[in-house]
Structure 1
Amino acid sequence: MRGWFRLTVGLVAVVVGALWTVLGLGYVEGSVMSDERIWAVVGSALVLVGLVALWLGMRARRR
């Protein structure tokens, strides 16, 4: 069970971060987050954090 938590958190962070990024860039309408640039920045940062967590999770699974 090594690394599963990091993999799960990383995957969720990448998906949520990508959603926040497209909302912040205005590609999806109908939300209070739509077309707010701060959400594009926060979403991009969350995607990077998620990718790091995925990488760490994969390293833990290989050991």
Structure 2
Amino acid sequence: MRHVVGVLGVLAALFGSLFTLQGFGVVQGSPMSNTTTWSVLGPIIALVGLGLAVWAWRPRR
């Protein structure tokens, strides 16, 4: 189960990074491009995904 959460966390981090780049206008061709909403939500999604991945794959005691 932890592997599934880890993979979902990595995917969320990747999508959050993509949303951030689209929000800042680095990646063009989407209605999300140059939008302040995705400039704010993207990093939050990426950090939550990264946190999930770290939590899932940290060593158990």
Fold agreement, TM-score > 0.5? yes
Offset from partner CA, 1:13-52 (integer Å, 9 cap, x none):
0110000000000011111000001101111000110111
Structure-to-structure mapping, 1:28-43, within 5 angstroms = 28-43=27-42
The amino acid of 1:36's aligned partner reads T
The amino acid of 1:15's aligned partner reads L
Stretches of structure 2 that go unaligned for 5 or more consecutive residues are none
The amino acid of 1:23's aligned partner reads Q
Stretches of structure 1 that go unaligned for 5 or more consecutive residues are none
Aligned residues: 60
Query: Partners of 1:32 and 1:13 in 2: how far apart?
Result: 20
**TM-score w.r.t. length of structure 1:** 0.87
Provide the identity percentage: 35
CA RMSD of aligned residues (A): 1.1
